[in-house]
Amino acid sequence: MASPLILAIDQGTGSSKCLLVDERGEVVARGGAPLGQSTPQPGWVEQDPEEIWASVRAAVAACVTAELAARVVAVGFSTQRESCVIWDRKTGKALTPLLSWQDQRTEDLCAGIRARGQGAIIREKSGLPLDPMFTAVKAKWLLDRIDPDRQRARAGDIVIGTIDSFLLSRFGGEALVEAGNASRMQLVNVGIAEYDEVLLDIFDIPRAALPRIVPSIGPFPACRDFAPIPDGVPVRAIMADSHSALFAHGAYKPGPIKATQGTGSSVMGLFDSTSVRGGNALHPGLCLTLAWWIDKPMLGFEGNIRSAGSTILWMADLLGIDPGELARLAATCEDAGNVYVVPGFNGLGAPWWDGNAVGTISGVTLGAGRSVIARATIDSLAHQIADVVDVVRQSGLVVDRLHVDGGPTRNDQLMQFEADMTGVTVARTDTAELSAMGVAHLAGIAEGIFTFAGLSRMDRGGRSFTPALDEKARTAKRLGWRRAVARSLGSVAPAEP
C-alpha cells in the first residue's frame, strides 16, 4: 500500500502555503497562493476573509494531485494569530473584514482602557500587554460598528474569532478555536486556558459570541467540500504559526529558544517557573502565552516584533529595487557605522510596547549611501531580536543558542549579525516551512504516524553562525541602537528594555 500523507496548511499574512509530508517526515509536495491586504487609512491593515479562504483552497489545489489526495489521512492548520473577523453563525458569511494583527486603529481604545487603570489586570490575567496587536480591542471595534447594542452577539447569532476559527467554520459544526490561538485574543485567563469574565467585561465582548476553546489536537470537524481532499478526512491539529515553528524545532520541553522571522518576528520558548533562576519574574516586555495543548496546556514566553521582513520590503520599494537586490546591496557594506533604521511603522512591539513610536533613520551623513542604508535595514532585524534576547536573560532564563527560521534567515549576513548582537550561536534549519512542518508533526502524532521520540531523532540539518565581534564592539553597536530607539520613542536618554 502507498504510504499515508499529512497535509499541513500554513495560512499566513502574505500567503497560504501547503506541504504534503510522508511518514518519514519528508516533504512530498508543496503548494502556495499569494494573499493581498489593504490599508484604507494610515495604520489600518485589513484582509478579505473570503479571499483568505480562497487562497487556502488554491494552495491545496496547487499542492495535492488527485492521486496524492487519496493518500491524505490527516490535515493540520498553522495560522496567523491575533487577527479578528466576525461572521454569521448560521450562514458562515463574513460580516466584517479581517482586522490584521498589524492593524493600529484601536490605539485610542487601548488608551481609554489604560486611563481607567485596567492595563495591569489585563496583563495579569491574559499574560499579554494591552496593545492594538491583540484580538480583544479589534473585536470591540468591530462590534461597536455592526452590533453596537450587542443584541446579536448576546444571542449567539454571530461569531467573533481568529482566522483558525473562521477556517474551521468552512467545514460546518460548532464554532471552535484552538487554545494557543485563543490565548492571543486577550480574553483568556492564560493560566487555565478559559475565557475570563473580567476580561470579557473590560472589552465588552459577550461570551455567547465566542467559539469554544479546544486543545491543539481537537476534536475538530472533518474536511468538507475541500477538493481535492476527500470529504471526511480529519483535521488532526491546529497551531498558531509561531507556536508551530517552535514545535518543529523540537522544543517539546523548556530550554530551547527560537526566533521566527517573517513579516514580523517572534522570539519564543516554553516557560515554567522552575526554569527561572534567581527569583526573577518574567520581564514585562515579554508575553506569557499558551504555546499548545496536547495532554495539558503548555505555557510559553514570547517577544513579538512587528516589523521584520516588512521592513526589508518597505526599504526595497523606497529605493526602487527588489528585496534580493537590497540584500546584495547590503552585502557590499561591511558596517553601517552609526546609521540605524528603527522600523516603528505601526509602533514598536517587544520589549517596548509603544504604539506611538515612530519609524526613524538616524545617524545619516553625506557619506551614507544606498549600501549603508540597505545594511542598516538588514541590521534592524538583528537588533530587535537582540532586544528581546536581552530581556529574556533579565528574566533569569538561560540563552546559549538561538534557533531561527523564516524567509529572512536565508540571508547569511543577517544571521552572522544576529549572532554578533545576541552574543550566542544562531542555528538555522534547512527546512524553510517550519510553521507548516510543526503542525504536520503534531497532526502526525495525533494520527499515530509520528512519536515524540521519533521526531526528536530527526536530523533537521542547517548551519550555525557563531559570534565574531568582541564584547566591546558589540556593546558599542547595541548602545548606538538604543539611542536610535530612544529617538523613536521620543525619549532623550539611551533607551533600556
Domain boundaries, the chain: 5-241, 250-429+461-491
The arithmetic mean of pLDDT across residues 176-199, rounded, is 95
- Report the pLDDT value the prediction gives residue 275, as an integer from 0 to 100: 55
Distance separating alpha carbons of residues 354 and 490, to the nearest angstrom: 10
The arithmetic mean of pLDDT across residues 424-449, rounded, is 91
For residue 143, with 0-12 CB atoms within 10 Å meaning exposed, 13-18 middle and 19 or more buried, which class applies? buried
Q: Which is more confidently placed, 253 or 438?
A: 438
pLDDT higher than 50, residue 210: yes
Q: Which pLDDT band, with edges at 50, 70 and 90, does 446 fall under?
A: very high
CB of 419 closer than 8 Å to CB of 409: no
pLDDT higher than 60, residue 137: yes
Percentage of residues in the chain having pLDDT higher than 90: 76
Q: Which pLDDT band, with edges at 50, 70 and 90, does 279 fall under?
A: very low
User: Angle at Cα 176 formed by Cα 126 and Cα 297, nearest 5°?
Assistant: 45
The arithmetic mean of pLDDT across residues 108-137, rounded, is 94
pLDDT higher than 70, residue 1: no
CATH C-level class of 5-241? alpha beta
CB of 391 closer than 8 Å to CB of 441: no
Distance separating alpha carbons of residues 409 and 341, to the nearest angstrom: 19
* Element (DSSP H or E) covering residue 268: strand 265-270
pLDDT higher than 60, residue 454: yes
The arithmetic mean of pLDDT across residues 281-299, rounded, is 90
pLDDT higher than 70, residue 280: no
CB of 453 closer than 8 Å to CB of 252: no
pLDDT digits 0-9 by tens, 298-347? 999 999 898 888 899 999 999 999 999 999 999 999 999 999 999 998 78
- Report the pLDDT value the prediction gives residue 274, as an integer from 0 to 100: 59
Q: Which pLDDT band, with edges at 50, 70 and 90, does 491 fall under?
A: low
- 5-241 and 250-429+461-491, same CATH topology: yes
Identify which of 58, 405, 450 has the alpha carbon closest to the alpha carbon of residue 226. 58
Distance separating alpha carbons of residues 314 and 330, to the nearest angstrom: 15
Does the predicted TM-score (pTM) go above 0.85?
Answer: yes
Q: Which CATH number fits domain 250-429+461-491: 3.30.420.40, 3.30.56.10, 3.30.70.20, 3.40.50.620?
A: 3.30.420.40
Q: Which pLDDT band, with edges at 50, 70 and 90, does 282 fall under?
A: confident
The arithmetic mean of pLDDT across residues 160-187, rounded, is 96
Determine what percent of the chain falls in helix, strand and coil, rounding each to the nearest 5. Answer: 35, 25, 40
Backbone angles phi, psi at 265, to 5 degrees: -145, 150
CB of 254 closer than 8 Å to CB of 193: no
CB of 346 closer than 8 Å to CB of 302: no
Identify which of 437, 476, 478 has the alpha carbon closest to the alpha carbon of residue 458. 437
pLDDT digits 0-9 by tens, 151-161? 999 999 999 99
The label of the residue with cell 533537521 reads 460
pLDDT digits 0-9 by tens, 36-79? 989 899 889 999 999 999 999 999 999 999 999 999 999 999 99
- Report the pLDDT value the prediction gives residue 278, as an integer from 0 to 100: 46
Q: Which pLDDT band, with edges at 50, 70 and 90, does 385 fall under?
A: very high
Instruction: Give the type of residue at 424.
Output: V
CB of 406 closer than 8 Å to CB of 415: no
Distance separating alpha carbons of residues 482 and 13, to the nearest angstrom: 29
Cis status of the peptide bond prior to 351, with omega within 30 of 0: yes
- Report the pLDDT value the prediction gives residue 307, as an integer from 0 to 100: 87
Percentage of residues in the chain having pLDDT higher than 70: 96
The arithmetic mean of pLDDT across residues 122-136, rounded, is 93
Strands (E), 336-433: 340-342, 360-362, 401-405, 425-428
Long-range contact set of residues 21-25: C-beta below 8 Å, sequence gap at least 24: 21/437, 21/440, 21/444, 23/444, 23/449, 23/450, 25/440, 25/441, 25/444, 25/450, 25/455, 25/458
Q: Which pLDDT band, with edges at 50, 70 and 90, does 464 fall under?
A: very high
- Report the pLDDT value the prediction gives residue 277, as an integer from 0 to 100: 52
Q: Which is more confidently placed, 164 or 273?
A: 164
pLDDT higher than 80, residue 116: yes
* Mean pLDDT lowest among 6-20, 134-148, 199-213, 457-471: 457-471
Distance of CA 396 to the CA centre of its chain: 24
- Report the pLDDT value the prediction gives residue 462, as an integer from 0 to 100: 84
